[in-house]
Structure 1
Amino acid sequence: MAYTEQRTDSAGRTGHIGRFRVDGRLRSTRRFTAKREALAEARRQEEAGKHAEWVDPAASRVTVAQWFAIWQEARVDRAPRTIEAERERFRSLVSPTFGDRPLRQVTHEDVARWAATMTSPTTGETASPARRRDAARLLVALLDAAVDARRLRSNPARTPSGKVPSLPRAPKTKPHRYLSHEQLRRVADATTSPQTRTLILLTALTGLRWGEVSALTVADVDPLRRRLHVTKAYTRLDDGTLLLGDTKTHARREVPLPATLVEAVATQAAGRAPGDLLFTGTRGGALRRESFDRSAFRPAVLAAGRAVRTLRESLGLPASGLYDDAVVAAVRRLQTDGGLPPTGVCDPETWALVSDADRARRDGRVGGARTAGTGAGSLAGGMTRGEKVSRTRLLAALSRTTLGPGAEDFDTLTLHDLRHTAASLAISGGATVKAVQRMLGHESPVLTLSTYAGLFEDDLDALGDTMSAAFQASAVVLGTDPGGARILRGSFSASS
């Protein structure tokens, strides 16, 4: 029960403080001149404690920066990359405005104004919507934690109903890029090493994240059951340090190893101990994403993605990215002139003839040997020595690929797009949402559906065809038996 005590300060002035209990501890109000004011304040504080609304005034005097440091100390279970990202966002976007401000002085209006106008520390311009949204979410979470710790009575970034109206609009996500089976094979064939080929195919057919596939060990491969055990992942910090820890969702899972890759994976694991990494860098350590992307993946993608256009240019055909009838006819003529079966498919042997034709065009020797195109011009004009070397390397990479009718070029893509490709190929192959979720390691099927909703829309057409076919099959038709009698034919259930 609240009560008051009389106190005298160092100057000899007499006053009153209120005394009350919250959470079993006896606490005091500030000093009042009138006894009734001290008692009223003590009763208000005690009543707030009964309704879990009491806030320690001293606790709310800490600055936002001080509270952020305290909050971070309690988040040791978070992934190091998450902690690092939060510290960077706080340092660059939150701290300049709120770092030195006491918690109790943060207002809703201040948060709304800051969320709409926060600037980038490097350019001085308004930060991107994605950066502003991430920073605003961080501040909201920080203030929510202050409420939970009874340092604030309510979160000033939220309305009384709990909404966050100041949160910047979510930026539009980059459209996913998917490869077809033929395009994926083309990229794999354009690589220069067995490890690169195996890693690309494994990623695109299982959907493993880069941190997961680069952390696979020989022991994680079960060739008999055709399974991969995904138990850990590498995380790269901003300073370049690689940390080995749990997967993104902190969950272990099994992923099917496609039969077509069993032999390649077994070859990759040959001669290595169970605890050794399956894929390694040049010095035997963990394979780094930046290095692999720059030296192995990107060159293969750039070559494979423009294969059809390069073929058409070499044959003197109009620029296009489609392997159409004109290309088929041109390739057949080239194969006939070169003594190869006129299949119309550009295989490695045919690419050798294409390279010769391309070289002749670059040197201005069109006509010395029969080329397939009409109106063919010389590629020599305007090409520097460096461009000629680049084209020779491009044709060398393409000489390992095979192109056929219907092949199409594609835009460049990232390593993460191989994960999207895996989802696309699985869905087009008839996989259920649950199966795709388990393969990708999503926390729930809802995330899988929200990420790849567009891919599942094609199922509606297939469903409509299936329903239509089943309905048509149930139709009753008239027929005759061998004796000439008319009979009914149709599909009936036992209950009908």
Structure 2
Amino acid sequence: MGSVESYDTAKGRRYRVRYRTPNNRQTDKRGFRTKRDAEEFLAGVETLKATGEFVSSTHSRILVRDWAQVWLSSLVNLKPTTRSGYEYTLGKHILPRWGSHRLGDISHAQVQHWVSELSQQLAASTVRQVYHVLASMLKFAVRDRKLTRNPAEDIKLPRITKRRRGYLTHEQVAVLVEAAADWGDLLATLAYTGLRWGELAALRVKNVDLAHRRLSIVESVSEIGGTLAWGTPKSDESRVVVAPSFLVAPLKRRMTGKRGDDLVFTTLTGTPMRNNNFRHRVFNPALAKVREQDPLFPVVTPHDLRHTAASLAVSAGANVKAVQRMLGHASAAMTLDVYADLFDEDLNAVSDALDREAAAHFAGKVWPEPDLGPLH
């Protein structure tokens, strides 16, 4: 049990609390103006010790910039792009604002004000990403007993206005493929398999079974600061995607003369494909060419071809589980969340099918006026 002692200063009597931390280290806190304030502080310390929530004031004085490095080093199995994104967010948005602050000095009100300020400058999705990094870092501080609570909890975040996805029709895909000339087969592969760019760029000859039209997606590549980083697909799960038969011929042409470990899609000099270069040199010019002829043609990105694959699959009758497997989502719930709008038509189809099946039994039926009786 701790104790409360008085001592004299030039400004009058003050009180000091002596107590032991959970690891039995003697410490104190001074400067209380009244004995009651000191006793209340001591009671609070003893309660936190009893409940296991005690945090040493020494720990809460750690600077955010120092804790950021501890937090980063604790993160295992991160994709290189994810780690790079965290480092960028820390350097660009978090450390300039919070780096010199002590962990224990950050308040809920300060975090809310900061988020509100960011919302005036950045897109809602970016604000949420930045907030997530700070909140995760402070949550780790709570788990490591550097803070008793997370001041970034229960923060009001800006709402995201979702951009309408670019779903192309079969005809529109064909037009874009034609405009891309020698690279049209690559666009068709994206639009009819749902591969992410990094998965397509990392696809190797040995992982393509043309006889059965199977593509084994086991690897992905991304570009970080000009350097290519190779790893597993986004969900860390490999999957098998079935390619339409019309893609067999162009895939075979790409693979001819190559060995198993060679990449299916490469630049003209045989180097790995890079998304930004491809967009600048091939995709954007092809899209511009199409839009010159048809100004109403949707403005899309290579990633929108993945969305197109989902749309075309659903319109062909694929259920949510099949679309999930094709796209490599972690769960069918995630697929529904991302593509809920595509399955609205499914609801109409289900209703129409039920109507047809039940028509013979209910056609011409006269329903009696309901007698609600006591339910009134």
TM-score normalised by the shorter chain: which range applies?
0.7 to 0.9
- Kept in 2: contact 1:186–1:304 (CA 8 A): yes
Q: Deviations over 1:429-481 (max 9, x none)?
A: 0101011011111111111111111111111222222112112244799xxxx
State the AA in 2 paired with 1:133. R
- 3-state SS of 2:121 partner: coil
When residues 181 and 126 of structure 1 are mapped into structure 2, their CA distance, relative to the original with a 3 A threshold, is closer
- Partner Cα distance (2:42, 2:259) in 1: 70
Change (3 A) 1:204 1:241: same
Cα shift readout 1:308-341 (whole Å, capped 9, x = no counterpart): x5xxxxxxxxxxx7xxxxxxxxxxxxxxxxxxxx
Aligned CA-pair RMSD: 2.9
Q: Which residue of 1 aligns with 2:84?
A: 84
Structure 1 residue 299 displacement after superposition = 2.5
**Secondary structure of the structure 2 residue equivalent to 1:446:** helix
| Shift in alpha-carbon separation, 1:475–1:164, aligned structure 2, 3 A | closer
1:277 lines up with 2:270 in the alignment: no
- Residue 182 of structure 1 is matched in structure 2 by 171
Contact 1:28–1:42 at 8 Å: present in 2 too?
no
Task: Find runs of 4+ consecutive structure 1 residues off by over 6 angstroms.
Answer: 31-34, 36-43
Within 2, Cα distance between the matches of 1:221 and 1:231?
A: 11
Cα 1:139–1:32 change in 2 (3 A) is closer
User: Is the alpha carbon distance of 1:224 and 1:470 closer, same or farther for their aligned partners in structure 2, counting shifts above 3 Å?
Assistant: same
Equivalent residues in 2 for 1:287-302 (5 A)? 287-302=273-288
Using the TM superposition, give the Cα deviation of residue 267 of structure 1 relative to its aligned residue in structure 2, in angstroms: 1.6
Q: For residues 189 and 31 of structure 2, what CA distance do their matches in structure 1 show?
A: 77
SS at match of 2:24: strand
TM value normalised by structure 2: 0.85
Name the structure 1 match of 2:298.
411
Rounded Cα–Cα distance in structure 2 between residues aligned with 1:37 and 1:175: 58
* Matched residue SS, 1:58: helix
1:135 and 2:130 matched? yes
| Aligned ranges 1:124-203 → 2 under 5 Å | 126-158=121-153, 163-165=154-156, 167=157, 169-193=158-182, 196-203=183-190
Choose the corresponding residue for 2:202, options 207, 212, 215.
Answer: 215
Counterpart contact for 1:133–1:170, Cα < 8 Å: no
One-letter amino acid of the structure 1 residue matched with residue 308 of structure 2:
T
Letter of the aligned partner of 1:456 in structure 2?
F
Q: CA deviation at 1:53?
A: 0.9
Q: Which residue of 1 aligns with 2:93?
A: 93
Indicate which of 315, 318, 326 corresponds to 1:428.
315
For the residue of structure 2 that corresponds to 1:430, the secondary structure is coil
> How far is the alpha carbon of 1:56 from its aligned partner?
2.0
State how far apart, in whole Å, the 1-side matches of 2:317 and 2:141 are: 48
Taking the aligned partners of 2:144 and 2:314, their CA distance within structure 1 comes to 46
Q: Displacement of 1:243 after TM fit?
A: 0.5
Structure with more helix by fraction: 2
Shift in Å at residue 32 of structure 1?
A: 6.6
How far did residue 71 of structure 1 move? 0.5
Q: Which has the larger radius of gyration?
A: 1
Equivalent position SS for 1:244: strand
CA distance in 1, matches of 2:356, 2:142: 60
Residue in structure 2 matched with residue 18 of structure 1 by the alignment: 19
Shift of 1:46: 5.0
Q: Distance in 1 between matches of 2:205 and 2:344?
A: 38
Q: Report deviation, 1:39.
A: 9.9
Match of 1:48? 48
SS at match of 1:420: helix
Residues 297 and 31 of structure 1: CA distance in aligned 2, closer, same or farther (over 3 Å): closer
Give the counterpart of 1:235 among 222, 235, 256: 222
Equivalent residues, number: 352
Deviation at 1:40, TM superposition (A): 8.7
Q: In 2 relative to 1, CA 18–259 (structure 1 residues): closer, same or farther, beyond 3 Å?
A: same
CA 1:88/1:172 → structure 2, altered by over 3 Å: closer, same or farther? Answer: same
Contact 1:65 1:98 in 2 (8 A): yes
Matched, 1:445 2:326: no
Q: Give the aligned residue type for 1:19.
A: R
Structure 2 letter corresponding to 1:78: L
Match of 2:57, SS state, is coil
Distance 1:115 1:434 in 2: 37
| 2:28 corresponds to 1:30 | yes
- What secondary structure sits across from 1:65 in the alignment? helix
Match of 1:109 in 2: 109
Structure 2: tracts of 5 or more residues without a match: 6-15, 365-376
Within 5 Å, which residues of 2 pair with 1:304-383? 304-307=290-293, 309=294
Q: Check the 8 A contact 2:2/2:17 in 1, yes or no.
A: no
Give the corresponding residue for 2:9.
Answer: none
Q: 5+ residue gaps in structure 1?
A: 7-14, 120-124, 310-320, 322-408, 478-496
